Amino acid sequence: MFPRHRPRRLRRTESIRRLVRETVLTVDDLVFPMFVVPGTGVRREISSMPGNYHLSVDELLREVERVAELSIPGILLFGIPEHKDECGSEAWSETAPVQCAVRAAKQAFPELCVMTDVCLCEYTSHGHCGVVEDGRVLNDPTLELLAKTARSHAEAGADIVAPSDMMDGRVLAIRGALDEAGFSEVAILSYAAKYASAFYGPFREAAGSAPQFGDRRGYQMDPPNVREAVREVAADIEECADIVMVKPALPYLDVLAKLASTCSTPIAAYHVSGEFAMLKAAARNGWLDERRAALEALTSIKRAGADFILTYYAPDAAGWLRETAC
């Protein structure tokens, strides 16, 4: 009881605070999402995501070199195709930007963990994540296309494929296709609890993947639900997901904490484009100390239970953490 009991004693100096700190964010917790486009010599900043670029493969390699120098363990690649069509056929093309980028990145940096986002929305003319018929997004016919896409990423050398489409049964379909093609060592990171969120806004501009009609609420999760996330994650683990993901991160820390306390596979969290853009915008207006706010946000995601975090802040955070360590 106060006055004998005084929690402030352990907050008095930085060395004491370091000793009793419960969560420590390190560079090992970070994965950097990147956008690959066709062509060469392309390096275009994405206006709503300052410091992030549309990169052709050659420019991407330079950026990956920086990532590797910072000791960031992994990247997640998104591709912007040359042409979009009804069924998103460039998604599984051997010569599309993502497949070329995976080959180049693995060749230049074999130790780096290269992940690929498996989805059709960047590749379809209607911007939905699956096959569309009469204005509906069909589940089962989409599975085969996702499986083909994942297999083509594995053939290019991806270490981990990450389906983000939210079709039912996609993890099982992808596992089957990978195993059949001899890629039993390629892991699946499932966007298991992916919510129909407004925070993907800047990404959709970056990827040109906004749905041309309707929205994604018929396949992505309803934001108010948490027990449903437990069910989604259980189903994906049953289908052999190696890692499950919660997305977005900050508005869903309760979901993350709940899953972390019940599920035995590693859990990732995606600090998405809108979460990044909010911090950037406030920092640019001089309203926030960017470094402190970003590291606090990332640390809170780890504290809630994430084993690693996909974040557009990865290079900045890695640099800041390195400075602090010196």
Q: Which residues are catalytic?
A: 194, 247
Q: Between 2 and 213, whose beta carbon lies closer to ligand PBG?
A: 213
- Please report whether residue 161 would count as binding ligand PBG according to CB under 6 A: no
Residue 235 corresponds to which tokens in the numbers above? Answer: 């189903």
Number of residues that bind ligand PBG (CB under 6 A): 12
14 or 75: whose CB is closer to ligand PBG? 75
Least distance to ligand PBG from the beta carbon of 253, Å? 17
| 3-class state of residue 137 by DSSP | strand
Q: Does 294 bind ligand PBG (CB under 6 A)?
A: no
- By CB under 6 A, the residues from 111 to 140 that bind ligand PBG are 117, 119, 121, 129
Coil, helix or strand for 322?
Answer: helix
Contact between 273 and ligand PBG per CB under 6 A: yes
Beta strands (DSSP E) in 224-294 are 243-247, 267-271
In the list 200, 252, 308, 320, the residue contacting ligand PBG (rule: CB under 6 A) is 200
The nearer residue to ligand PBG, 23 or 125, going by C-beta atoms, is 125
According to CB under 6 A, which one of 204, 235, 291, 303 is a site residue for ligand PBG? 204
Is residue 272 within the footprint of ligand PBG (CB under 6 A)?
A: yes
Query: Tokens 């040109």 label which residue?
Result: 208
Residue whose C-beta lies closest to ligand PBG:
203
Q: What is the DSSP letter of 7?
A: G
- Near ligand PBG by CB under 6 A: residue from 52, 89, 99, 164: 164
| Nearest residue (CB) to ligand PBG, 183 versus 203 | 203
Tokens of 199: 């925070």
Question: Is there binding between residue 188 and ligand PBG (CB under 6 A)?
Answer: no
Counting contacts by CB under 6 A, is residue 278 touching ligand PBG? no
Q: What is 49-114 written as a DSSP string?
A: STT-EEE-HHHHHHHHHHHHHTT--EEEEEE--S--BTT-GGGG-TTSHHHHHHHHHHHH-TTSEE
Q: Report the alpha-carbon distance of residue 214 to residue 208 in Å, rounded.
A: 16
Measured distance CA(28)–CA(309) in Å, rounded: 9
Structure tokens at 17: 């605070």
CB closer to ligand PBG out of 181 and 283: 283
Of 148-156, 180-188, 199-207, 228-236, the window that binds ligand PBG (rule: CB under 6 A) is 199-207
The DSSP-derived string for 158-170 is: -SEEEE-S--TTH
Q: From CA 265, how far away is CA 19, in angstroms rounded?
A: 29
Q: Which is nearer to ligand PBG, 183 or 200 (CB)?
A: 200
Looking at the DSSP bridge assignments, the partners of residue 244 are 190, 267
Please report, as ranges, the residues that interact with ligand PBG according to CB under 6 A: 117, 119, 121, 129, 164-165, 200, 203-204, 216, 272-273
